[in-house]
Structure 1
Amino acid sequence: MDAVIQTYQLMKKFKNETVLKPLDFTLKKGEICALIGKNGAGKSTFFKILAGQQMPSSGEIHLFGKSGRELEKAKRRIAFMVETPAFFPDFTAVQNLEYFRIQRGIVDKRRVYEVLEIVGLKQEKKKRFRDYSMGMKQRLGIALCLLGNPDCLVLDEPINGLDVEGIMEIRQLLKKLNQENQITILISSHILTELNLLANRFVFIKNGVIVEDLSKVLLEEKSKKQILITVDDSAKAVQLLERANADIQLKVLPDHEIAIQNHVENSGKLNRLLVENGVMVKQFSIKTLDLEEYFLGLVGGDQHD
């Protein structure tokens, strides 16, 4: 397994409050992993510790298999956007990136233009930063991350405050970086629906604890449509449904309610089958499991970072 980031029992305390409980986490090479939780769940604290902006109270971090004295060198292979980068408002994109290129000791002057092209700002290179839209500012932030040719990006809430178009642009950019440049991405947000279109792994955090870790496939399993039927005789209804459809997947719920996980496209036929065979159908509905609701329940709470 190619592990990019590994944490072992990572913990952070502020005075009497434990913001991160002992956390074991592994980010594998090639993943786009979404860290999801409400504000104050511990996402930003975790990212700041990874970036070296805060020290953990206890625990260990390994980057690309390196730890201890080798950690600082390994950290150069990761670019962090944990807080909004402080760009000069009167500078153009080129001037801003040129400043950071010199500051960071990056020799290749062409890299500034390369990263602007990657993030789609090549045409806007003469516009002053203060005239940028929020989406353009975020893309310039990602361009800054890419200056040093990183193998991994760690992005804290990069789509926060963006409009629909801006969110779509960032999503397409991150997918491109992952697929074409083989950059591993760890991204945090509380906007599950958007991350569902981007990530291939979903880690949910609440009160500094990972409460769920799902692959894309498992997440989609949880969001499938299902048929809900309330009848007068659930035993008879189940018998009829199973006899007519050998592959039917159903669950009998309390109060004579039946949940059917497949055959959603044949809902009309199933309803008719029951009615024609003397089963009284009191309620019949098709419901998509609400992921947002499910996971808000999972990561809910009113904490503060």
Structure 2
Amino acid sequence: MTLIHIKNVSKSFKGIQLFENTTVQFEKGKIYGIIGHNGSGKSVLFKMICGFIRPDAGEIIINPAYRDKQSMFPKNFGIVIDRPGYISGITGFDNLKRLARIQQLISDQEIRQAMTLVGLDPETKQKVKNYSLGMKQKLALAQAIMENQDVLILDEPFNALDIDSVHSIRQLLLRFKEEGRTIILTSHNQEDINILCDHVFQIRQHAVEEVKA
């Protein structure tokens, strides 16, 4: 099943042409890796998929099962693009609880479970302002998965994580794929791409091209 269809899309950003008449499709239940040099447009591509910015031409077609008639944003997507702006003076759990109130889909226990899955202690009284970069990254990942999102859009999900945490998150993402979820991620670490991805696409010359094995 085609989940996302990027069709004849062109996009410039800050005066730089990133995409020109590019087309690519993502199917449900697979892990996709997006690679490219710094500034090639990986984050911009993700923001277009998520509805945060619009293409200059062409269209981003989201499967109807993931479209929300009340919103311009797709539903059931878990997203890590840039680091979220958390409230620094409260705990990670309290931050996620405030975010969970928006949709009112999950319980406190489900928030705790998501934090535990990514390697955070949901019971700690440590405030986010005292979190390390790795802990903040884990908090962003917990937010992306806490509502059991079916599609994960993850821009550099392993940034600032230690080796053990990288291994744990890799195993978690592979488990999610086995459950039928769809994951699109970027990473500058080729090992992440090799271990996780069913398909790899490279952004070059204003297009998104599949890298053949």
TM-score (norm 1): 0.62
The answer to whether the 8 A contact 2:51-2:73 is kept is no
Cα 1:57–1:69 shift into 2, 3 Å: farther
Counterpart of 1:44? 43
- More helix, by proportion: 1
Give 1:195's aligned amino acid.
I
Superposed CA offset, 1:133-172 (max 9, x none): 3333222111111233211000111223434334323322
Give 2:39's aligned amino acid.
G
Counterpart of 1:10? 9
Counterpart of 1:204? 202
Counterpart of 2:153? 154
SS of the equivalent of 1:75 reads coil
Superposed CA offset, 1:13-39 (max 9, x none): 247532111221111111110001111
Give 1:201's aligned amino acid.
H
Residues in 2 aligned to 1:12 and 1:199: alpha-carbon distance in whole angstroms = 26
Counterpart of 1:143? 142
Give 2:19's aligned amino acid.
L
- Report which of the two structures shows the higher radius of gyration computed on alpha carbons: 1
Of structures 1 and 2, the one scoring higher in RCO (CA 8 A, sep 6+) is 2
Superposed CA offset, 1:48-104 (max 9, x none): 111222111011112224699849477112122111111222322211111111234
Aligned positions of 1:120-199 closer than 5 A: 120-122=119-121, 125-179=124-178, 181-199=179-197
The answer to whether the 8 A contact 1:66-1:74 is kept is no
Cα 1:146–1:211 shift into 2, 3 Å: closer
The answer to whether the 8 A contact 2:3-2:62 is kept is yes
Gaps of 5+ in 1: 219-305
The answer to whether the 8 A contact 1:93-1:124 is kept is no
**How many residue pairs align between the two structures?**
213
Gaps of 5+ in 2: none
The answer to whether the 8 A contact 1:22-1:59 is kept is yes
Counterpart of 2:118? 119
The answer to whether the 8 A contact 2:88-2:128 is kept is yes
TM-score (norm 2): 0.86
Residues in 1 aligned to 2:198 and 2:186: alpha-carbon distance in whole angstroms = 13
Deviation at 1:43, TM superposition (A): 0.7
SS of the equivalent of 1:137 reads helix
Cα 1:67–1:197 shift into 2, 3 Å: closer
Cα 1:173–1:9 shift into 2, 3 Å: same
Residues in 2 aligned to 1:112 and 1:145: alpha-carbon distance in whole angstroms = 11
Residues in 2 aligned to 1:14 and 1:131: alpha-carbon distance in whole angstroms = 34
Give 2:31's aligned amino acid.
I
* Percent identity of equivalent pairs: 29
Q: CA RMSD in A?
A: 2.6
The answer to whether the 8 A contact 1:39-1:190 is kept is no
The answer to whether the 8 A contact 2:34-2:184 is kept is yes
